Amino acid sequence: MNLVRTAMLLAFMTALFMAVGYLIGGSGGMMIALVIAAAMNMFSYWNADKMVLRMHHAVEVDARSAPEYYGIVRQLAERADLPMPKVYLIKNDQPNAFATGRNPSNAAVAATTGLLARLTHEEVAGVMAHELAHVKHRDTLTMTITATLAGAIAMLGNFALFFRGGRDNPLGIVGALLAMFLAPVAAAMVQMAISRTREYSADRGGAEICGNPMWLASALGKIAGAAKNIVNDDAERNPATAHMFIINPLAGLRMDNLFTTHPPTESRIAALRQMAGEFSGGADFSNERGPADAVASSGPWGRNPGKPRPKGPWS
């Protein structure tokens, strides 16, 4: 089903790209858009994940540079029977996370420093389990390709007035205006359509992976509250990637937020609370401490509050 869904998405986004090309340059513009869209589809399949990570200035980490964070992902990947994904850290105060990659063997997960600083060990596990559920469900290919094509469509719409419609375009300047205003809206609606139902599915899958729905429920409440008050500059510059995050990273500064790509956080939390009775307990992450974490176990991160925290991506 995911292969069929991805193929249908590619076909629709390609048709939308061609329609924008026609509105700008007539039949010639449509053919040029078809060639560009075909090239972008191929490029996106192999490289869109790297592009998204670069857009958000993500830095790869390992067991030495981020022992706790990396250890959580490693144990969750084992519980989910998934290959170990690449692990990235984004220096950003807004708590958030996303997954990307064309398949589970080429997947990556990324979390912001704000998320690691504000959430407990268990809440981070709930968030990363949600992202691994996206990987397991093979949502990441569709979500990443959509981000690339939606961004391209929005960019093409922004150039519409510059071209002012080709001579072969019967709509002329009207076509250019339609492309400018309708193309980004259409791309946003596609993002909304493919993302909202998948978040519920990934919430349930994440709860099954980590073993405790309340970890993710608690994390969603904290992330949603903080995300409204902290602007994510990289996300604002690249709104086409918003649907990839666990919580909408846009602060409502643009019209993109009119078409929210995520279901209401309150509904997601309510669904997770209903699931809580089905679970007896979550995974034990007590063994996921690296050498830099060898301190007395106490509190949500397994540290004695009276002792200083080691420096690194967690501080």
- The domain limits of the chain are 57-159+184-293
- pTM: predicted TM-score of the whole model, two decimal places: 0.76
Query: What is the reported pLDDT for 304?
Result: 38
Whether 128 and 76 have beta carbons less than 8 Å apart is answered as: yes
Mean pLDDT is lowest, of 128-137, 219-228, 273-282, for 273-282
Question: What's the average model confidence in pLDDT over 105-123?
Answer: 96
* Residues designated as active site: 131
**Which residues fall within 8 angstroms of residue 108, CB to CB, at 6 or more apart?**
49, 53, 85, 86, 87, 88, 99, 100, 101
pLDDT of 121 over the 70 cut? yes
Q: Is the dihedral of CA 303, 306, 309, 314 positive or negative?
A: positive
pLDDT of 251 over the 80 cut? no
Query: What is the reported pLDDT for 36?
Result: 78
Query: What is the reported pLDDT for 299?
Result: 30
Whether 99 and 135 have beta carbons less than 8 Å apart is answered as: yes
- pLDDT band at residue 167 under the 50/70/90 scheme: low
Query: What is the reported pLDDT for 65?
Result: 96
Question: What's the average model confidence in pLDDT over 121-127?
Answer: 96
Q: Give the separation between CA 56 and CA 241, rounded to whole angstroms.
A: 10
Strand locations in 170-255 (E): none
pLDDT of 81 over the 90 cut? yes
Per the CATH hierarchy, to which homologous superfamily does domain 57-159+184-293 belong? Metalloproteases ("zincins"), catalytic domain (3.30.2010.10)
pLDDT of 67 over the 90 cut? yes
Question: What's the average model confidence in pLDDT over 114-135?
Answer: 96
Query: Helices 265-276 and 172-210 sit at what angle, rounded to 10 degrees?
Result: 20
State yes or no: 57 annotated in a binding site.
no
- pLDDT band at residue 297 under the 50/70/90 scheme: very low
Q: How far is CA 74 from the centre of its chain?
A: 19
Query: What is the reported pLDDT for 307?
Result: 40
How high is the mean pLDDT of the chain? Answer: 78
State yes or no: 262 annotated in a binding site.
no
Q: Find the DSSP H helices in 56-118.
A: 67-79, 113-118
Most confident range (mean pLDDT) of 20-29, 86-95, 283-292, 293-302 is 86-95
pLDDT of 1 over the 70 cut? no
Nearest to 148 by CA among 74, 252, 37: 37
The two tokens of residue 52 are 């998204």
Query: What is the reported pLDDT for 274?
Result: 92
Query: What is the reported pLDDT for 213?
Result: 95
Most confident range (mean pLDDT) of 16-25, 51-60, 195-204, 281-290 is 51-60
Q: Give the separation between CA 3 and CA 10, rounded to whole angstroms.
A: 11
What are the tens digits of pLDDT across the range 174-207? Answer: 666 666 676 667 666 666 666 666 889 899 999 9
What are the tens digits of pLDDT across the range 4-30? Answer: 766 777 777 778 778 777 777 777 777
* The Cα angle at residue 185 between residues 182 and 189, in degrees rounded to 5: 135
pLDDT of 111 over the 90 cut? yes
Specify the higher pLDDT residue, 31 or 171: 31
Nearest to 96 by CA among 205, 189, 283, 226: 226
**Which residues fall within 8 angstroms of residue 31, CB to CB, at 6 or more apart?**
21
Query: What is the reported pLDDT for 5?
Result: 67
Query: What is the reported pLDDT for 171?
Result: 58
Query: What is the reported pLDDT for 158?
Result: 64
